[in-house]
């Protein structure tokens, strides 16, 4: 339901700014893929195609396939001119050892069977291929969630447990942790962001005046 159409995801994406390091996780993930200079990339859970568009602009000769389970997200990515397909990460219709890089940005916490999806990633990666995965930490937006009467979001694939999880399937895992900030111009913007994934939290957020910032925490993993 959350990802049937791109509007909810765009509402969340639009509030994020670089943190104290002056670094964007999207830029870190993009640059990690570009440095690898892959001939073929498969992205699972491509969302609106923002990351795919940035990578393909820098690697115009790369065979890049942006995939998602949601037809609405695939349509949004296709509208950017990307090559797309509707694909379930747990049953990818690709040959063994057929990709140089697999990208999984802010999506592995959603898959029903995480180990199955990671086995599929391993299967389609060529020897020496790399998974570039992005996720958020337990502290991500935790203060805002508490103010709305909720609790921090603890997921199956996070900054805290992602390295251990990837280690079950990959020999080498490296990480880059990035602090970010969510900027809300006013109370209504914060409500819209919360409503994109939890309407009850949105309704519970106490009114505030003016703008507010909340801390975010994201990790970009690379796994060989």
Residue 10 has pLDDT above 90, yes or no: no
Place of tokens 């993009």: 30
- Read off φ and ψ for residue 86, nearest 5 degrees: -85, 115
Bridge-based pairing state of the strands 212-223 and 125-136:
antiparallel
Tell the residue number behind the tokens 């892959």, with chain if given.
38
Q: How many C-beta atoms surround the C-beta of residue 197 within 10 A?
A: 15
Compute the half-sphere exposure of residue 45: CA atoms within 13 Å on the CB side of its CA.
Answer: 21
Q: Tens digit of pLDDT for each residue in 128-163? A: 999 999 999 999 999 999 999 999 999 999 999 999
Band (pLDDT 50/70/90 cuts) for residue 46 is: very high
What is the rounded end-to-end Cα distance, in angstroms, of the chain? 33
Residues paired with 74 in a beta bridge: none
Separation CA 50–CA 52 (nearest Å): 6
DSSP symbol at 60? T
Cα 192 to the chain's mean position, in Å? 20
Closest CA to 92 of 125, 130, 62: 125
Q: What is the mean pLDDT of residues 79-95?
A: 98
Max Cα–Cα distance, the chain, nearest Å: 55
pLDDT digits (tens, 9 = 90+) for 106-137: 999 999 999 999 999 999 999 999 999 999 99
**Beta carbons of 187 and 207 less than 8 angstroms apart:** yes
pTM, two decimals, is 0.95
């Amino acid at each position: 339901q959350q990802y049937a159409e791109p509007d909810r995801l765009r509402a969340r994406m639009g509030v994020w700014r670089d943190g104290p390091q002056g670094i964007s996780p999207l830029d870190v993930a993009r640059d990690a893929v570009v440095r690898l200079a892959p001939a073929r990339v498969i992205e699972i859970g491509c969302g609106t195609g923002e990351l795919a568009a940035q990578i393909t602009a820098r690697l115009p000769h790369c065979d890049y396939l942006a995939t998602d389970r949601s037809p609405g997200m695939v349509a949004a990515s296709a509208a950017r001119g990307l090559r797309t397909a509707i694909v379930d990460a747990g049953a990818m219709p690709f040959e063994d050892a057929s990709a140089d890089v697999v990208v999984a940005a802010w999506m592995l916490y959603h898959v029903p069977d995480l180990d199955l999806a990671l086995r599929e990633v391993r299967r389609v990666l060529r020897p020496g291929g790399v998974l570039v995965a992005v996720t958020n930490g337990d502290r991500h937006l935790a203060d805002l969630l508490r103010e709305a009467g909720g609790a921090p979001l603890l997921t199956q694939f996070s900054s805290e447990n992602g390295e251990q999880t990837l280690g079950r399937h990959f020999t080498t895992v490296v990480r880059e942790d990035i602090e970010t900030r969510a900027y809300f111009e006013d109370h209504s913007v914060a409500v819209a962001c919360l409503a994109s994934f939890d309407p009850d939290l949105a309704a519970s957020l106490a009114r505030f005046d003016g703008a507010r910032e909340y801390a975010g925490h994201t990790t970009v993993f690379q796994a060989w």
